[in-house]
Amino acid sequence: ILNVEQSPQSLHVQEGDSTNFTCSFPSSNFYALHWYRWETAKSPEALFVMTLNGDEKKKGRISATLNTKEGYSYLYIKGSQPEDSATYLCASDLLMDSSYKLIFGSGTRLLVRP
């Protein structure tokens, strides 16, 4: 069974705090790692797709890193704002049964208090 796990499950921070979450995935059969941001009552929106070990990507105050050898990715939010409140999903593109499938974690729910 190939699982993608995220921690913590939920996180409450104060406006202005910086925070980070972890995504762990099987390092074998790996092709790519995706991060999505999912606001309540909306659909998930892609933040980053990373494939190479050591990849780092940044979009505004949000950045992500990738370690494919040990099977983890971190998502960082610098100076959290209330509008950052959302569920952050990671998903790993894994080779399973001769085809690549995007396997999702259960998400980290972030609440930023003003």
Partner 1 sequence: DTAVSQTPKYLVTQMGNDKSIKCEQNLGHDTMYWYKQDSKKFLKIMFSYNNKELIINETVPNRFSPKSPDKAHLNLHINSLELGDSAVYFCASSQSRQGRYNSPLHFGNGTRLTVT
Pick from 27, 49, 63, 72: which binds partner 1 (CB under 8 A)?
Answer: 49
For residues 34 and 71, which CB has a smaller minimum distance to partner 1 in the complex? 34
Distances, alpha carbon 29 to alpha carbons 7, 9, 54, 70, 84, in Å: 22, 25, 17, 13, 32
For residues 13 and 95, which CB has a smaller minimum distance to partner 1 in the complex? 95
Structure tokens at 3: 């699982």
For residues 15 and 45, which CB has a smaller minimum distance to partner 1 in the complex? 45
100 binds partner 1 (CB under 8 A): yes
Structure tokens at 85: 């409140």
Contact 36, 91 (CB under 8 A): yes
Q: 51 — alpha (psi -120 to 50), left (phi > 0) or beta? A: alpha
107 binds partner 1 (CB under 8 A): yes
Provide the binding-site residues for partner 1, judged by CB under 8 A.
Answer: 31-32, 34, 36, 42-46, 49-51, 89, 91, 93, 95, 99-107
